[in-house]
Amino acid sequence: MKTRYALSLGKPFGIKVKVHWTFLLLIAWIVIVSMSRGLETPQILMHIVFVLALFVCVVLHELGHSLTAIKFGGNVTGITLLPIGGMAHMTKMPEEPKEEFLVSAAGPLVNIVIAILIWIYLAVFQPVNIQEMEFVAITRENFLVMLMAANIFIVVFNLIPAFPMDGGRLFRAALSIKMSRVQATRVAKDIGQVFAIFFIIAGLFVNPFLVIIGIFILLGAKGEYEMIQYQDALRQFAVEDVLNKDYAELDAEDTLGKAAEELVHISDNGFVVKSDGKYQGILTKNDIINGLNQLGREGKVKEAMSSDIEPVKTDAKLFEVFQDMNKKRNELVPVISKDELKGILDMDNLKELIMIHKAIR
Ligand SMILES: [Zn+2]
C-alpha cells in the first residue's frame, strides 16, 4: 500500500508512525452512525476518543513487533495506521523460526499487557460491576472496560492461525522447526484457507464483517505463500547469474520516434540509454508512451528516460532486489559495479526464473 497520502505522527524509537488518509473515513463513519442513532455531540466525541485510544494500542502493538524485529537485525522503515489496523513496513525480517516466533508474539503480547494494566487500574481505583453496566454506547463509565475488551479482541483476532494475522506467522515459525520454510508456509496457508472459508460461510449468516475478514485471509495466505516461493526460487541465484548483458541501447540524443520504432524489435521491457558510451538512464515502454504523449515523436530520449532508478550492485541478494523492484514498480534496473554498467535486470526474466523453479518442484 502506498503511504504517500499519510499524515506523519512522529518518530518513537526512530520508527516513523503515519496515519493513512482513509482513517478519516473511519472517523466520518463513526460520526454518521452515531448521528443516525440519535446520539448527542458529547457522546459522539466519546466514540471518537475511544477509536483514537484504540489506535494508540494498535501503534504500541506494531511497535512491539518492530522493536523485537530490530533487536534481531531486522529493518523497519515505519508504521502506517489504516482503518483496519496497523502495518509495520519491514524491509528485512528475521527468518530464524525462533526469532520470527518472538517477533510475531511481541505484538499481541503488548495488548495483553495493556489489558492487564487496565484491569489492575480498574480493580484498584475504579471498581466496576460489569453486570450492571450498560454497553449500548461508550460512556465515561464503561470506557476503560470497553478498551480492555477491545485489546483482548485484538489478541484473539491476531492469534487466528492464518496469514496475514500474527497467528499465521507464529504457526509457521512453529512448523519450521520440523520442516522447510516453504513447506511450513504451505501448511499454514492451507489451514488459513480453511479458516477463511469458515469465516465467509459463517459471515453470510451472522455478520458481513466476517466475510471481509475471510477474503482478507484468503488473499493474505496466497500472497505470503507466493512471496516465500519467490524467495526460495531466487535465493539460489546471484545478480551476476541472471543479469542480461545483451541489452538494447539508445543514445540520449535519439528521438522518441526512433525508440518507438525499435521497441518492437527488442525482447526487454526497455532500453539502456547512453551518452558517449556512459550510462545515463533507462527508457522503459511506459517512458516511451508517456514521452510520446507529452513531447511527440521528435522529443529526445534523454527528456523521457528514468534517470533516477537506483542501480543494483553485482553482489546484491536477488530476492531483495526483486522485492524492491516490485515495490517501486521498476520493470528494468541497471546493474553497476565500479561505476561501470554490467548489464540490466528485467522483471520478466526474474518471473520466468520463478516459474521454472516452481515447475521443477
Ligand atoms: Zn501484529
Q: Is the pLDDT of residue 234 over 90?
A: no
241-292 per-position pLDDT tens digit? 888 888 888 998 999 898 888 888 887 788 899 888 888 889 988 899 999 9
Q: Is the pLDDT of residue 3 over 60?
A: no
- Cα(104) to centroid of ligand 1, in Å? 6
pLDDT (tens digit per residue) in 180-206: 888 888 888 898 889 889 989 998 998
How many angstroms from the chain centroid is the CA of residue 342?
31
Q: How far is the CA of 31 from the centre of ligand 1 (A)?
A: 27
For the range 265-272, what are the long-range contacts, defined as Cβ-Cβ under 8 Å and sequence gap of 24 or more? 268/244, 268/332, 268/344, 268/346, 268/348, 269/331, 269/332, 269/346, 269/347, 269/348, 270/331, 270/332, 271/247, 271/301, 272/247, 272/248, 272/334, 272/341, 272/344
- Nearest Cα to 288, choosing from 268, 264, 260? 260
Q: 237 in helix, strand or coil?
A: coil
Alpha-carbon distance of 215 to 237, in angstroms, equals: 34
* Predicted confidence band of residue 110 (pLDDT cuts 50, 70, 90): very high
Q: What is the pTM for the complete model shown?
A: 0.71
Average pLDDT of the chain is: 85
193 CA distance to ligand 1 middle (Å): 19
Per-residue pLDDT tens digits for 63-97: 999 999 989 888 888 888 877 677 787 777 777 88
The domain 239-360 is classified under which CATH number: 1.10.3470.10, 3.30.470.20, 3.10.580.10, 3.40.640.10? 3.10.580.10
CA of 359 to the centre of ligand 1 (A): 34
Q: What is the mean pLDDT of residues 40-47?
A: 85
Q: What is the mean pLDDT of residues 200-228?
A: 85
The answer to whether residues 60 and 82 touch, using CB atoms and an 8 Å cutoff, is: no
pLDDT tier at 129 (50, 70, 90 boundaries)?
A: confident
For the chain, the structural domain boundaries read 1-158, 161-234, 239-360
For residues 67 and 106, is the Cβ–Cβ distance under 8 A? yes
Distance 70 CA to ligand 1 centre (A): 15
